[in-house]
Structure 1
């Protein structure tokens, strides 16, 4: 007759079974995480960013050839200098390209219209992305020419500066901008970015003509002290230029450029002070977004893609 196992033996057996199950689950989770990291790394190595995201004929991805980067610079010249009235120097006018030293170390996000071409000829939108490790090669970010960004550079996290955003006139609908945001969210996810920032522009160099918009931004969306960057003393323009309580906030928002409205919808902030950029015929404000506010919107989409690839 087989003896009945002692209660302590049953408990030991149960604990052993549960431990084995838990160990298997933990090992499986660790394997999945490693596979996800490997998949992300492979995507980065293969594409320089992420696999192209599509929306109809439009796609968004990182430029991978010199011809595509050149197309982005040509589009920037067309929009900034020919349409918006920026003042080119001799080299810029001669080459019909908007180029600076940051282009060499940055990634260039592209919107491509495949109905035109799947290569450089199809570039209809662009956004320049500059990570902390890339900026270190030059010793600074572009934004530091207008703002004291020490609160950010001392921030214990990974930074991504965005700028030089433009879309070709015939593609300035919602689809292209949504693709640009999806591309930025994917880039943030893959590079584990913590804070997104940069300079966003309002047309014109007369702050008084932009008094309502600047006051609205300062009063309603000023960054918390831990993230608040401030315009350099010799370039500082006061943003609160009228009584904020007398403003029609909805009318103010309607007058903001689509890009700035996009940042605000994501819970973004502005820095302290505006900066007049005479060369580009704009008044700039610093914008900042905690990346989880953007990435969370697209995380489930990316998580599904990773899970499907692993199945």
Structure 2
């Protein structure tokens, strides 16, 4: 900060109550995004797909930028870009070893297209910036409805495939041997992931999607291995990051996105510390091999 800038210029909570009334849609949208991001993130971490999240977000950004340029619904453009990315990743990366290569090829292409569309767009610069870093304070009623619909579709799809998808994510060979349709579940999850990314891009922007679709779940698995507790913690962490970041940013001149990412990262660091403390304690309390064998 410059010499003439003080903390009072950055943080000002005098009109906090009035501002809070203006962003209730944003808080609802943040809670929806936390729910979806926390649930989907469990499988992103289990299937080791953070790179895919980033790749889909770039094509989602390109679709949203194209929609902005053409003057059509940005949510629809983002959805088209995300679904297209999910399909392309599924087609080009049928084998696990090919996934990263396919994503690495398509990701810069999508980012380049998005930058081109934004360069051609002659409208408000805030709209351009929002696609990259988010614009959660600008959530209106139609956008909130569309986000709620996407969230409902994602949650319903996950409810249907949760158990077989979790089995296939943790041990695909054994799952296939047990008759789980592993090959079918993979593209289904990519489509669900595409919807979740499209939803996230509308709130936190293409550059910060990982903070909600990866970090909360990565934090949850640091403190628990329970198949029930991990998704609960992941959702709680994601909702806390989005809603908490929004509430903090209301009394600040700093954009919301840094608060969301900082809260998310702070939760992850805390969980890493808790995990490190609990791990030696768990080892100390475990029975010795000989004693365990005797029992």
Q: Fold conserved (TM > 0.5)?
A: no
Query: Taking structure 2 as the reference length, what is the TM-score of the superposition?
Result: 0.26
Structure 1 length-normalised TM: 0.25
Higher share of residues assigned strand? 1
